[in-house]
């Protein structure tokens, strides 16, 4: 299996290192030709407005949308989740709209810009160590989107932080910055599911 990481900005190298440690080949994706070759696409954490702006400049928005809609499995983390989503509350920025969720950026507020927690995940026997860095959370989840993990939000309402819609998997935290490779294994297991 060839794993590609969208390499416009952000921590794409960390994603590729995990895929390689799992025995998969990895390439950095910046062109339509590279996008055509991969069996799985990772969209890293970083700055979603920058990723969106560069993807627009590199003419990658439509090709990404098309390939993902046609079933290319994709795993986005943090800024990657925002880029995959349908909309962002209170802002307009380039997004792929292939994941039926509305996200709120930097949702955890300044005082807890970054934190770590043990997060129970549906289908995994032990919690994952989740690293949140100026993270978004998901405000609205479409009916065809499965919530795999959530955290308590304001007023006690749970906010989704790990979701899956078909072969689109997205986390508002950074599994690529930990030793725990179970979510990358989950992403790799989507290859062949579409
Ligand atoms: N706050 C960033 C954004 O809005 C995401 C942060 C991250 O990827 N760690 O794009």
pLDDT digits (tens, 9 = 90+) for 4-54: 999 999 999 999 999 999 999 999 999 999 999 999 999 999 999 999 999
Rounded-to-5 percentages of helix, strand, coil across the chain: 30, 35, 35
Report angle CA 27, 77, 98 to the nearest 5 degrees.
Answer: 90
CA-based radius of gyration for the chain? 15
Q: Kindly list the protein residues whose Cβ atom lies closer than 6 A to any atom of ligand 1.
A: 45-48, 78-79, 82, 105-106, 133-134
Which residues sit opposite 108 in a β-bridge? none
Q: Domain segments of the chain: what residues?
A: 2-193
- Identified catalytic residue from 14, 15, 78, 184: 78
Instruction: Find where tokens 């030793």 sit.
Output: 179
Distance between CA atoms of residues 123 and 34, nearest Å? 32
pLDDT tens-digit map of 157-182: 899 999 999 999 999 999 999 999 99
Q: Which atom, in ligand 1's list, is nearest to the CA of 48?
A: 10
List, in order, residues 6 or more apart from 56 with CB less than 8 Å away: 94
- What is this structure's pTM? 0.96
Q: What is the mean pLDDT of the chain?
A: 95
Question: Which CATH number is 2-193 given?
Answer: 3.40.50.880
């Amino acid at each position: 299996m060839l794993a590609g990481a969208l390499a416009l900005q952000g921590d794409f190298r960390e994603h590729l290192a995990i895929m390689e440690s799992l025995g998969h080949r990895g390439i950095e994706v910046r062109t339509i030709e590279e996008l055509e070759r991969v069996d799985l696409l990772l969209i890293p954490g970083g700055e979603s407005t920058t990723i969106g702006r560069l993807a627009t400049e590199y003419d990658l928005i439509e090709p990404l949308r098309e390939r993902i809609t046609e079933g290319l499995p994709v795993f986005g983390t943090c800024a990657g989740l925002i880029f995959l989503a349908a909309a962002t509350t209170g802002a307009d920025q380039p997004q792929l709209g292939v994941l039926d969720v509305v996200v709120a950026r930097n949702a955890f507020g300044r005082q807890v810009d970054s934190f770590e927690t043990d997060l129970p995940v549906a289908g995994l026997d032990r919690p994952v160590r989740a690293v949140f860095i100026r993270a978004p959370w998901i405000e609205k989840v479409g009916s065809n989107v499965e919530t795999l993990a959530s955290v308590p939000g304001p007023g006690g309402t749970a906010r989704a932080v790990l979701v899956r819609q078909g072969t689109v998997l997205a986390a508002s935290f950074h599994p690529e910055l930990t030793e725990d490779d179970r979510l990358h294994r989950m992403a790799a297991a989507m290859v062949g599911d579409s």
